[in-house]
Structure 1
């Protein structure tokens, strides 16, 4: 009965955002059950785009006194395990801030299913209906009367207005007969007088219920609870338009379309911004950044991927149709087939030595975001410029062979790759720009689980871990450039990062350490904390 919509309601709807307290407006954030550790971080990144107010945390002293001007998370009901469930509470400082957040989340949210202006909740449907009917609360000063909220919604006074109910269960499917009974109870409790319209209602009221047994569907155990409120926005799975299974040009390490969309949100890509991927490959991450409206730029050391592409004999010509041009498909084909703006440029380059003039002021403070998935040698080894013999590297390439010449390369260790990535980001990002990248993690006795590489110009804003197997994982790290680049300071920090005995050097032996640490070599994670369910 639920219907996917980006934004619900007329201007009258937008002026109604339920519970107003000293914390502002109380919302219910309903998440999708995938990429569990990424969900809160995505909302916080989208909030910065929408409002720029930030989030209040009680354990951060400097933020005390800003309670009424910031967003605030509240843990869901059901204890620690319920944190992995879909229902979280979110306090917005004002109704206007809640509306702005809903507009951005509804347009481009990936892990948020919907945002609800929470009117009432209860352990039973009857308790929730009683609360709606009487406005019974423990402390009336903390929440306005139900009638005050209803006065802002036309369907309680105007017979010509339209509305609908969306009933959703977590851990169970609510049968149609039960949905009708629930709707009847809530309509009588609230006193709706408008007309029902399932296709294009002015107001969409959300009804949610949780009832999950400890062993059911391998989901987190959450107590039975009911939620009711006015739907502010519902997201769509817009990223499914970029499924890898239907893409024209792919490589062995092409980023999953859903994760690429998440990375674009964490990087806050939007119109007027410039995003750079120094390991662009087949362009999966830049496709998501381009969809978000950002201008894009890419580089890669493999000329065969970004320039040559694949000959049409290697592809299904019928499925590619008009997008097979000059007998091949390439990175440009992906953007053209989706109708997205092409990257400003793709350069054959080495991330350890970008072809930007370091003396030119225009080459620094250039990008608003660096978004990438560096090669760590797990699925594909990293390469950099170089070779076994120095005389081959120093030879001049004949003019008539420069277009077809493939320079020699050498192995690129994880430690060097990470240090170079952070340094190029610190140098070429604008102050306030964001670096979003994946960093490997693993359960071993030698590598600290919470350790992350650092840079004096960059500050970690979010670190979200995805469990891939019982021993393997990866972290999506978001860093923000906080101050201008200082070459001397950066050089000293680089030496410390690569000094003998540093934690970063241990990651050069990550594959060896993982496969010698335990017998759980490649067992996949079966819980909901893995990729998706």
Structure 2
């Protein structure tokens, strides 16, 4: 990606924070061949001339979707002899590192071909000076779920949790909430960047685990962010205890959508008799109230409406929304008045995918707490349009067949 920033320091800040950045370079030239690149680079002498004298240096030659053999790396470096760099070479700790980056098309089904096969058939080659290497990528290993003290089968992987944390603009002094916290994956990463966090879930067992110390807190201690977890609460988000809105700088969550664990809300399934009062009186400490399924399209809409109430003006909502790829349309995103969509990207799994949605609250008016009862929710739903994620669980286990009678 070629991007513009006002200052080199801004590039270094991005490299410290963005987990997808491997390196940031000052762009000198590019071309479909090295002849074209050198022609452009010779005309950019003012960019590299300041490093000709008394500067230790090295060259790196790398490729995307391709391994570059050593002998050709040497040939590439020698092709830049016209730059006449007079300082000594330092491969270990150079003052300046110049980089050639060759971009190749994806190997696709040929991924198992010999690693040097296709070498030199690049789409484009870029040349520049290294400004900073990505420093946040090591956080992916730090928060690796497999190394975590407590996790579950729905725990979000580390890289995605970090991406979502960045989307919230997590920083020192901010207060961030996860209403479907589960085993806490999102809490750890937003706390890593300095925010204070609160999590809630309808099933407290997900947060507690089976140890003496609550599972979420044990992992938070492992990452040294336990002091930033202000509270873990057990309640149904549609019957929440929040007494006022405008509390949070961001809301981040991965709502349950039924592939590994379906969403639930308080209430009995139709036709099930009520024995709740008797059971609660007999053993109030272990009583678990009945729940019934919480349909995904209803949940997504409720989440946006609740976020509009709970977020500060300018606060962000970041969440995953699964969808059927062939049926998806932009109107599937449940935007409501006062909430503006700012980012929508797809993680594609083939027939289906999940969209990372980022919204920002664009109003400063004070609203009353929303009524999220099932009846009210159905009245808000647009009956003339059915989003692709409606009844997603049933579609997933049916193999996304449009006609359920067709195998």
Correspondence 1:126-145 to 2 at 5 A:
126-133=35-42, 135=43
Q: Does 1:347 align with 2:233?
A: yes
The question of whether the paired residues in 2 share the 8 Å contact of 1:352 and 1:417 is answered with no
Name 1:232's counterpart in structure 2: 131
| Aligned partner of 1:201 among 86, 94, 104 | 94
Q: Does 1:423 align with 2:319?
A: no
CA–CA distance in structure 2, aligned partners of residues 377 and 192 of structure 1: 60
Q: Does 1:460 align with 2:341?
A: yes
How far did 1:423 drift?
1.7
The question of whether the paired residues in 2 share the 8 Å contact of 1:385 and 1:408 is answered with yes
CA–CA distance in structure 1, aligned partners of residues 371 and 206 of structure 2: 32
Name 1:258's counterpart in structure 2: 159
| Aligned partner of 2:47 among 121, 144, 149 | 149
Count of residues in Structure 1 that have an aligned counterpart in Structure 2: 388
Correspondence 1:427-466 to 2 at 5 A:
427-443=309-325, 448=329, 451-466=332-347
Name 1:483's counterpart in structure 2: 363
Name 1:7's counterpart in structure 2: none
| Aligned partner of 2:168 among 254, 267, 271 | 267
How far did 1:391 drift?
5.6
TM-score by length of 1: 0.66
Q: Does 1:310 align with 2:310?
A: no
The question of whether the paired residues in 2 share the 8 Å contact of 1:248 and 1:329 is answered with no
CA–CA distance in structure 2, aligned partners of residues 170 and 365 of structure 1: 45
Q: Does 1:375 align with 2:256?
A: yes
| Aligned partner of 2:144 among 215, 221, 243 | 243
**Structure 2 residues without counterparts, runs of 5 or longer:** none
Distance change >3 Å, CA 301–CA 494, structure 1 → 2: closer
Name 2:22's counterpart in structure 1: 113
How far did 1:258 drift?
0.8
Q: CA deviation digits over 1:220-250, x for unaligned, max 9?
A: x985422111112221422121111111111
The question of whether the paired residues in 2 share the 8 Å contact of 1:442 and 1:449 is answered with no
Name 1:364's counterpart in structure 2: 245
Distance change >3 Å, CA 338–CA 487, structure 1 → 2: closer
Distance change >3 Å, CA 508–CA 211, structure 1 → 2: closer
Q: Secondary structure at the match of 2:91?
A: coil
How far did 1:429 drift?
0.7
CA–CA distance in structure 2, aligned partners of residues 258 and 272 of structure 1: 23
Distance change >3 Å, CA 490–CA 294, structure 1 → 2: same
Name 1:285's counterpart in structure 2: 186
The question of whether the paired residues in 2 share the 8 Å contact of 1:99 and 1:232 is answered with no
CA–CA distance in structure 1, aligned partners of residues 362 and 122 of structure 2: 43
Distance change >3 Å, CA 402–CA 202, structure 1 → 2: farther
CA–CA distance in structure 1, aligned partners of residues 134 and 122 of structure 2: 26
**Structure 1 residues without counterparts, runs of 5 or longer:** 1-87, 136-145, 312-325, 358-362, 522-533
Q: Does 1:90 align with 2:3?
A: yes
Distance change >3 Å, CA 224–CA 304, structure 1 → 2: closer
CA–CA distance in structure 2, aligned partners of residues 202 and 452 of structure 1: 48
